[in-house]
Amino acid sequence: MRYVMKQKLFTWGDDFTIKNAAGEDVFFVDGKVFSIGDKLSFQDMHGNELAFIEQKLLNWGPTYEIHRGGKTVAVVKKKLFTLMHHRFTVDVPGPDDLEATGNFTDHEYTFRRGERTVATVSKKWFSWSDTYGVDIADGEDDILTLASTVVVDMACHPDDGKRH
């Protein structure tokens, strides 16, 4: 499934809208203002919270937890000591962890589980700023992948949504 993510500029907090391939709004990410560390509510268009993203402070490097129904379903962490390129890990319960590698500054990267590409994030099809596409393989957890993409954006572009 293909999604289009756009960070809303000039808002209080870090907000994102996510559209499907047909251009319809399907998800909204509401950044909480006046909180210590980033806190974001991942919602459907009716305001129902599907996931909650929370930055964990006092860690080596950017670390975020993704929660569903009050349970932690993933921990997304930027690897600090890697040669030649940056990496993020998405640690999920069980053996299905993901790794994101590529050019995070330019929104050109992939999520992989072992040798299998799970999702591709790319800005190359969009000329306007703060907009990029996310292609997620069939059978994958779209919410988890999109929430992880939001985390990568927050960790790599920490001041983008702070323009008030």
Under DSSP, the state recorded for 59 is S
What are the structural domain ranges in the chain?
A: 2-156
CA dihedral 15, 19, 24, 28 (to 10 degrees): -30
Q: State the architecture of 2-156 in CATH terms.
A: Beta Barrel (2.40)
**What is the residue-averaged pLDDT of the chain?**
84
Which of 56-70, 120-134, 139-153 is predicted most confidently?
Answer: 139-153
Does 78 score more than 70 pLDDT?
A: yes
Percent of the chain with pLDDT over 70: 83
For residue 100, give every residue at least 6 positions away whose Cβ sits within 8 Å of its Cβ, in sequence order, or none.
87, 88, 89, 90, 109, 110, 111, 112, 148, 152
